Structures are given as C-alpha cells and as structure tokens.
C-alpha cells in the first residue's frame, strides 16, 4: 500500500514539473499568458483520464508555473482553480467511449475560457472585452488542450498506468 502511495505522489510531482517545464517553453515565445495563450502544458490536461493523481499534479504545476513566470497573485490563484476544474472534469469523463475521449478536454477549455478573461481584465487591466478574451483564450485551449491533448492520448493509452 505504501508503494502505491509513493508511486502516485511521484507521478503527481513529475506531472507538475512537466507542466512547469512546458509552460516555460511557451513563455520563451511569450505565449504562456496574455490575451493570446498557447500553453503547451495544457496538453497534459488529458492525463486525469489515466490517473487520479494527475489532478493534483496539474493543479500544482499550474500554480508553480504561474508563480515562477511572474504572474500576479490573482492569476496564480484563479489559473490554478481553472486547471483544477478542468482536471476534475477530465477525470469525471474518463469512461467515455473511445471515439469520444477528446470530449474529456472540454472542461479544461471551458474553465479557462470562462475564468481567465476575468483575470486578464481585472488583474492585469488588459484592454479588450470579456468575449474577446474568452474567444482568444478558448482558441488557445482548443489547440493545446484538445488537439495536442488528443494527440498524446493515443500513445498513452497503450501504456499501463
């Protein structure tokens, strides 16, 4: 039993570290925050389908990535909340039929498209409307979480977790 707990803790830590590293890659191209966001780390939001510890790993990874890339406090908090909501949603949708697995990324897209625009407007004072930010963040999430997440889903489903 202790071995299983250690394995889950290690997986969560590795997922968090990978999330941070991939966010840094996006940040190197100024794509990890702002009105237009393409966080490569969001592709990992498919992982709760395979393992429950991914929920904690993703949430902690987002919190750390936002903290380490210089985000304001509200972004650190609400960005992590959006990731947590998306990860829980993916976990709840894990039993979808095989051909519908991509739908498990929808909670991540919606959570970010709903929450992040408020952060951009009120925490950063970014000029633009809520709907503009919802659209731009949503498009980035569709590309990174849904498309790239689905791409990594197929090789991962062959692995025994």
| 161, pLDDT greater than 90 | no
- Give me 29's structure tokens: 């191209």
Q: Which pTM value belongs to this model?
A: 0.94
Backbone angle region of 70, left / alpha / beta, with phi > 0 → left and psi within -120 to 50 → alpha:
left
| 3-state SS assignment for residue 51 | coil
Between residues 19 and 102, the one the model is more confident about: 19
Fold of 2-156: Arp2/3 complex 21 kDa subunit ARPC3 (1.10.1760)
Q: Encode pLDDT of 3-35 as tens digits.
A: 999 999 999 999 999 999 999 999 999 988 888
Domain positions in the chain are 2-156
Residues of the chain with pLDDT > 90, as a percent, come to 89
pLDDT score at 108:
97
State residue 33's pLDDT score.
86
Convert the pLDDT of each residue in 112-147 to its tens digit: 999 999 999 999 999 999 999 999 999 999 999 999
Asked if pLDDT for residue 160 goes beyond 90, the answer is no
Contact between 44 and 58 under an 8 Å Cβ cutoff? The reply is yes
DSSP 3-state assignment of 34? coil
Residue 3, φ and ψ in degrees, nearest 5: -65, -40
Dihedral sign from CA coordinates of 50, 146, 35, 19 = positive
> CA dihedral defined by 107, 108, 109, 114, rounded to 10 degrees?
80
Averaged pLDDT, 54-70: 97
């Amino acid at each position: 039993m202790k071995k299983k707990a250690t394995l889950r803790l290690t997986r969560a830590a590795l997922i968090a570290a990978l999330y941070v590293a991939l966010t840094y890659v996006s940040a190197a191209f100024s794509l990890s925050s702002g009105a237009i966001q393409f966080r490569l780390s969001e592709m990992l939001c498919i992982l709760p389908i395979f393992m429950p510890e991914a929920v904690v790993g993703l949430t902690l990874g987002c919190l750390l990535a936002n903290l380490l890339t210089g985000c304001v406090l509200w972004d650190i908090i609400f960005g992590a909340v959006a990731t947590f909501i998306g990860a829980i949603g993916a976990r709840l949708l894990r039993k979808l039929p095989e051909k519908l697995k991509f739908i498990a990324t929808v909670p991540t897209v919606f959570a970010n498209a709903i929450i992040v625009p408020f952060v951009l407007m009120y925490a950063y004072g970014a000029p633009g409307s809520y709907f503009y930010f919802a659209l731009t963040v949503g498009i980035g999430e569709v590309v990174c979480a849904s498309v790239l997440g689905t791409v990594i889903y197929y090789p991962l489903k062959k692995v025994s977790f």
